[in-house]
Amino acid sequence: MKFGMNLLLWTGELNDELMPVLESLKNMGYDGVELPLFNTDLDYAAWGSRLDELGLGRTAVTVRTEEDNPISSDGAVRAAGVDNTKRALDCCAAVGATHLVGPYHSALGYFSGAGPTDDEWKRGVESMRQVAEHAGTVGVTLGVECLNRFELYLLNTHADSTRFVREVDHPNCRMMYDTFHSNIEEKNIAEAIRGCKEMLCHVHISENDRSTPGSGNVRWTENFDTLHEIGYDGWMMIEAFGLALPELAAATKIWRRMYESEAQLASDGLAFMKAEVAKRWG
């Protein structure tokens, strides 16, 4: 098992001021970090060298918007979505990120007023297949993420994302599991995890209020028990949000501070994950 921390708690873009945070996370005992990958113009190779020196592994996260929506009826908009995710994959290769995760299958925060149509689903699969082929070329694994119905509408359950990546049908296209979205959308946590076993490549550990894992109402026993049952042994990446990024606070609907400090959240969250894993994996 590898334990990581998503850097979106602090920033939406890698910058020099983040170095003390990275050093602190390494000293706490983290194995790696999840990098926000929204600006593809940074020197990711240089950042890869910095992270190597610190001994931190990495994954990355990105999103798509209405302007580059991979399921749009406008071919130019779809093409922009494919191209932008391919660019993000190139950045992953440069920085040494093994996985690119997130809801880049469709536009975050955009709604048609109805559920996904058959055409939107087909366009999404076709767009992702192009992305997956590029992922295979650069040696990065895609971890497609479903989000709850209040954030997007194409993939809302883990059964949705599992079916989606099966239809993409490419070895570099897999899906990820998120405890926050599962807490909202899944009727049966254990069955949701069992159902995605063959396609699962990544896990987000996220509390029901997006703050410190273990401090809220997520059904942690069911989550950890079933992840152990299916033999999961990849990244457990804490995803928590605060007020550091106004644009992200607006998207995630975080209006109040729900933890003592970012450092305290990271420290307590890591201790929680390690304790739960030690009970089951030994």
Average pLDDT over residues 30-45: 97
CB atoms within 10 A of CB 108: 17
282 pLDDT exceeds 90? no
252 pLDDT exceeds 80? no
What gap in Å lies between CA 126 and CA 269, rounded to an integer? 38
Residue 166 neighbours by CB under 8 Å, 6+ apart? 199
pLDDT value at residue 140: 98
Six-digit token string for 272? 């929680």
Q: pTM for this one? A: 0.96
- For 110-145, the pLDDT digits (tens) are 999 999 999 999 999 999 999 999 999 999 999 999
H or E element in which residue 60 lies? strand 57-61
CB atoms within 10 A of CB 33: 26
The DSSP letter of residue 18 is G
Q: DSSP E strands: which ranges in 188-257?
A: 200-205, 235-238
Average pLDDT over residues 23-32: 98
Six-digit token string for 61? 């996260």
End-to-end CA distance of the chain: 11
- Residue 22 binned pLDDT confidence (cut-offs 50, 70, 90): very high
pLDDT value at residue 48: 98
- For 151-197, the pLDDT digits (tens) are 999 999 999 999 999 999 999 999 999 999 999 999 999 999 999 99
